[in-house]
């Protein structure tokens, strides 16, 4: 989906990964505020960062965006609407 929306999917996906990770920190901060130990919350936050790193690297390096070579892709690149 990111590859279809953006002309620079890697750049956009990197920023989305950071944004999602920061949003996932909100429940962690909440449970810390509710009285859980800081050590337990930091472990949970580090797991969120690890998941973000693994997911980003897998999606960018193992499953990169493919360049279409079909007739429709060539028409879209040249600006023609077939």
- Predicted local confidence at residue 82, as pLDDT: 47
pLDDT digits (tens, 9 = 90+) for 24-44: 999 999 999 999 999 999 999
Count of other CB atoms within 10 angstroms of residue 13: 19
| Number of structural domains in the chain | 1
CA 39, CA 74: separation in Å to the nearest integer? 54
Residue 19 predicted with pLDDT over 80: yes
Of 4-8, 22-26, 75-79, where does the model show the most confidence?
22-26
Q: What is the pTM of this model?
A: 0.65
User: Looking at per-residue confidence, does 67 or 23 come out higher?
Assistant: 23
Instruction: Let me know: does 31 contact 41? Beta carbons within 8 Å.
Output: yes
User: Could you tell me the residue range of the domain that residue 31 belongs to?
Assistant: 2-78
């Amino acid at each position: 989906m990111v590859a279809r929306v953006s002309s620079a999917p890697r750049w956009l996906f990197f920023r989305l990964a950071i944004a999602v990770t920061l949003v996932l920190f909100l429940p962690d901060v909440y449970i810390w505020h509710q009285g859980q130990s800081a050590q337990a919350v930091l472990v949970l936050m580090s797991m969120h960062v690890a998941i973000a790193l693994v997911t980003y690297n897998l999606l960018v390096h193992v499953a990169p965006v493919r360049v279409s070579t079909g007739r429709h892709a060539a028409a879209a690149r040249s600006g023609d609407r077939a």
